[in-house]
Amino acid sequence: IRPEKLGDPASTERAIERFEREAQATASLDSPHAVQLYDFGVSPRGELFHVMELLRGIDLESFVERFGPMPPERVVHVLLQVCDALEEAHRAGLVHRDVKPANLFLARKGRRVDWVKVLDFGLVKEREATSAALTADGELAGTPAYLAPEVATGDAPVDGRADLYALGCVAYYLLTGERV
């Protein structure tokens, strides 16, 4: 992320904090279905960077747009892998908060196809610190089409159930090609 994209100094400080939180959360996960982060930091020119594994494949949103809905058996295969990554995150007290097809990557791993990687832990939050769907900037955290209603209204704390609701919306999208 280039420094000019971060805005004023106060915004820059918040962006760096979020960036570091995302990097630390992602690096702490061991699931084979969470993207592997090898390094992160700030370049000498003030650019924020991640060094992560190289993935070859396509995100699930692009896949459905290009090839149409998936058969139920394939959807189950994909979702079980996402559940593996989310289970580890939830056990560590982390909530992704932006589970959506664009953040789920269908890759190849060796001879295996349909190897799923969960990406973009940029909105991750520790469960204990989570009480609303708003970011530090007062913006709604997550993608509206995949956001649990009680989270969007602020009527309930954000926990792993919000990720599971979003995953149900992902399942619907993968099966029908339409958003809930």
C-alpha distances (whole Å) from 135 to each of 21, 90, 158 are: 13, 19, 12
Residue type for position 54: L
Q: Exposed (0-12), middle (13-18) or buried (19+): which is 62, by Cβ within 10 Å?
A: middle
On whether the CB atoms of residues 141 and 96 are closer than 8 A, the answer is no
**Per the structure block, which two tokens stand in for 147?**
């956001």
Return the ∠ at Cα 120 (arms to 118 and 123), rounded to 5°.
120
Name residues whose C-beta falls within 8 Å of residue 164's C-beta, 6 or more positions apart in sequence: 86
98 assigned to active site: yes
DSSP 8-state secondary structure symbol assigned to residue 33 = T
Q: 8, 59, 84, 98: which one is catalytic? A: 98
Identify the helix (H) or strand (E) that includes residue 10.
helix 9-28
Residue type for position 86: L
Catalytic residues, which ones?
A: 98
